[in-house]
């Protein structure tokens, strides 16, 4: 398995992240931190190009559509002589996702490739910031979701997912799914195709989630396991729950050499 696959899915360096992946800048996008993401409302993604403004409306993306996106991510390793060449392509899957959920009329079919890539990056922008979890099982999430008043894209930093502690069996299930690989073309000169664990992670999210902060359905804050599992964006499910299966870094101090 490629070394990068050991990284949490929320890490921008993970091979299943979209590429190109510009890490969100540190300066906040204008918006009130207390606002909630309305999971029931269509998302408005605004792209500014010079004096022109392009608006793209994205309806709620069903879970099966997200699974198609995850299944479309290509992560392979191929032996060429003494070298192993790794190849990862998530941007093609992102473009296909945008074409399925955004492009619905003749005008939208003329959407430039650069815009399709940009919209895909927004749809898959959720990540766990480089900080400790707020408590055992509490995973913070940062995401760009939709344009606010005036057409300005906004970043939400107040998102929190609180989970039960995974069992040993749930950990085994994740590790088993995350290490799945298929050799195509023979063991010596073939290509190893790595399969993601996103379907298993989405199911584990539904089993482990206790509460969330920062989300709503209309004016009603999202609450209760059944409501959360039914309405939470699948990409946010995967990006948050995978953090539970990442080992905690231990602070180590080297002994002074005498």
pLDDT in tens, 84-99: 667 677 888 999 999 9
Residues 140 and 54: their CA atoms lie apart, in Å, by 31
pLDDT of res. 35: 84
pLDDT in tens, 159-198: 999 999 999 999 999 998 887 655 555 555 555 555 678 9
Q: Which of 198, 232, 202 is nearest to 214 (CA)?
A: 232
* Dihedral angle, C-alpha 37, 120, 200, 221, nearest 10 °: 0
pLDDT band at 228; cut points 50, 70, 90: very high
> Quick check: 111 and 103 in contact, CB under 8 A?
yes
At 184, list the tokens. Answer: 């195509």
Partners of 163 in the beta sheet?
Answer: 209
> Quick check: 40 and 217 in contact, CB under 8 A?
yes
Q: Assign 226 to helix, strand or coil.
A: helix
Q: Say yes or no to pLDDT of 34 above 60.
A: no
Q: Which of 210, 239, 251, 252 is nearest to 227 (CA)?
A: 210
Structure pTM?
Answer: 0.78
């Amino acid at each position: 398995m490629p070394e990068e696959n050991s990284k949490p899915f929320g890490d921008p360096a993970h091979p299943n992240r979209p590429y190109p992946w510009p890490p969100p800048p540190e300066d906040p996008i204008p918006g009130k931190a207390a606002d909630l993401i309305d999971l029931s409302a269509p998302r408005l993604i605004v792209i500014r190009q010079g004096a022109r403004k392009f608006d793209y409306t994205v309806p709620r993306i069903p879970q099966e559509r997200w699974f198609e996106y995850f299944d479309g991510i290509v992560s392979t390793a191929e032996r060429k002589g003494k070298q192993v060449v790794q190849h990862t392509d998530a941007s093609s899957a992102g473009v296909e996702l945008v074409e399925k959920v955004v492009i619905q009329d003749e005008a939208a079919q003329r959407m430039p490739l650069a815009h399709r890539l940009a919209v895909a990056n927004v749809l898959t922008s959720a990540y766990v910031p480089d900080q400790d979890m707020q408590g055992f099982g509490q995973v913070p999430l940062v995401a760009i979701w939709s344009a606010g008043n005036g057409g300005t894209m906004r970043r939400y930093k107040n998102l929190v997912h609180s989970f039960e502690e995974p069992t040993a069996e749930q950990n085994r299930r994740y590790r088993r799914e995350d290490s799945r690989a298929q050799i195509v073309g023979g063991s010596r000169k073939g290509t190893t195709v790595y399969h993601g664990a996103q379907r298993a992670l989405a199911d584990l999210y539904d089993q482990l989630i206790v509460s969330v902060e920062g989300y709503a359905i209309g004016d009603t804050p999202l609450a209760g396991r059944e409501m959360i599992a039914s309405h939470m964006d699948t990409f946010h499910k995967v990006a948050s729950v995978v953090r539970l299966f990442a080992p905690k870094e231990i602070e180590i101090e080297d002994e002074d050499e005498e």
